[in-house]
């Protein structure tokens, strides 16, 4: 059975849609006929990306930007295509630019995968990744670094948040008006090689620096969002602080201001 936008594309907040691809997600944020993409799946997901836009009544040429959380092939699969075919700006964090442009590589190696390929889940994921074009992906050589002003002018008024560790320049993208955040692979809610569902870190082999990646998730706990859009797995309709706490093993705690409000009965004190 093929990929069907009717069942794989869902509106998670007004104008914010999560597309669950074959093994990686992308996000559409629309404002009328204009829209942005956040990530774009594997190269082999291109037809699904285009199908998701058609399903929403959008034209690929009307893409105002393609934002990239990080430069892994399962998130940049259609970046070069949009850039070259429609002149779509491909934007990423300054620290991730060389990765997205193909000048650096911060990706799990074939050797790291092969030594684990005896595990059925890893083997199936490896085969899928190869079939989805992981070994033949083209970098987005025209990609540029974003800045705050450029992002604010786009649908959803995105705000970039640095979350290094998965890759050196990895970023999450907050959509403050929607109360949603695209976390990319900072943490996920599922993955083909994982036996569990819900907020979790990817296997350490996928991270450039696993320790830094976990520390960065702890820092996300202070960001106000109630819809979490991961790079793999379904959306999480819980507070980001709660999701981050589950990932890091730290339960969500009330802030000092919240405790003071409870003690004194004051509201909005500053």
DSSP class per residue in 168-237: TT-EEEEETTTTEEEEETSSBS--TT-S--SSBPPPGGG-SSHHHHHHHHHHHTTS--SEEEESSS--B-
Per-residue pLDDT tens digits for 181-237: 999 999 999 999 999 999 999 999 999 999 999 999 999 999 999 999 999 999 999
- Look at phi and psi of residue 157 and say left if phi exceeds 0, alpha if psi is from -120 to 50, else beta: left
Are 213 and 258 in contact, with CB atoms under 8 Å apart?
no
Q: Is 12 exposed, middle or buried (0-12, 13-18, 19+ CB in 10 A)?
A: buried
Closest CA to 84 of 141, 146, 27, 44: 141
Per-residue pLDDT tens digits for 143-194: 999 999 999 999 999 999 999 999 999 999 999 999 999 999 999 999 999 9
Distance CA 220, CA 57 (A): 34
Output b/e per residue, 67-78; b: 16+ Cβ within 10 A.
bbbbbbbbbbbb
Per-residue pLDDT tens digits for 6-16: 999 999 999 99
Q: In the prediction, which pLDDT does 136 show?
A: 86
Q: Domain-by-domain residue ranges, the chain?
A: 5-263
Distance CA 20, CA 146 (A): 25
The DSSP 8-state label assigned to residue 140 in this structure reads: -
Are 242 and 252 in contact, with CB atoms under 8 Å apart?
yes
Per-residue pLDDT tens digits for 75-93: 999 999 999 999 999 999 9
In this structure, whether the domain defined by 5-263 belongs to CATH 3.60.15.10 is answered with yes
- At residue 241, φ and ψ (nearest 5 deg) are -60, -40
Q: In the prediction, which pLDDT does 250 show?
A: 64
Chain center to CA of 41: 10
Beta bridge partners of residue 27, listed in sequence order: 18, 38
Q: In the prediction, which pLDDT does 162 show?
A: 98
Query: Residue 18: in which H helix or E strand, if any?
Result: strand 16-20
Q: In the prediction, which pLDDT does 107 show?
A: 87
Distances (CA, A) of 162 to 70, 147, 212: 11, 12, 12
Residues 6+ apart with CB under 8 A from 120: none
């Amino acid at each position: 059975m093929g990929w069907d936008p009717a069942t794989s594309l869902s509106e998670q907040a007004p104008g914010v849609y999560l597309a669950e691809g074959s093994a990686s997600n992308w996000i559409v944020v629309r404002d009328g006929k204009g829209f942005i993409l956040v990530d774009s799946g594997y190269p082999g997901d291109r037809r699904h990306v285009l199908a998701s836009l058609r399903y929403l009544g959008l034209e690929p040429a009307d893409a105002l930007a393609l934002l990239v959380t990080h430069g892994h092939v399962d998130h940049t699969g259609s970046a070069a295509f949009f850039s070259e075919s429609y002149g779509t700006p491909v934007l990423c964090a300054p620290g991730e630019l060389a990765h997205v442009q193909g000048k650096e590589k911060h990706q799990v190696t074939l050797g790291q995968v092969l030594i684990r390929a005896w595990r059925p889940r890893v083997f199936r994921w490896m085969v899928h990744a190869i079939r989805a074009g992981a070994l033949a992906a083209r970098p987005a050589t025209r990609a540029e670094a974003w800045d705050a002003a450029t992002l604010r002018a786009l649908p959803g008024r995105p705000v970039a948040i640095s979350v290094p560790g998965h890759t050196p320049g990895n970023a999450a993208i907050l959509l403050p008006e929607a109360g949603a955040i695209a976390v990319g692979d900072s943490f996920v809610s599922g993955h083909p090689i994982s036996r569990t569902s819900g907020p979790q870190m990817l296997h350490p082999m996928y991270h450039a620096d696993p320790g830094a990646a976990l520390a960065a998730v702890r820092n996300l706990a202070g960001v106000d969002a109630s819809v979490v859009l991961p790079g793999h797995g379904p959306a999480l309709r819980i507070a980001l602080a709660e999701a981050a706490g589950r990932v890091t093993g730290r339960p969500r705690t009330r802030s000092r201001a919240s405790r003071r409000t409870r003690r004194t009965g004051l509201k909005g004190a500053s």
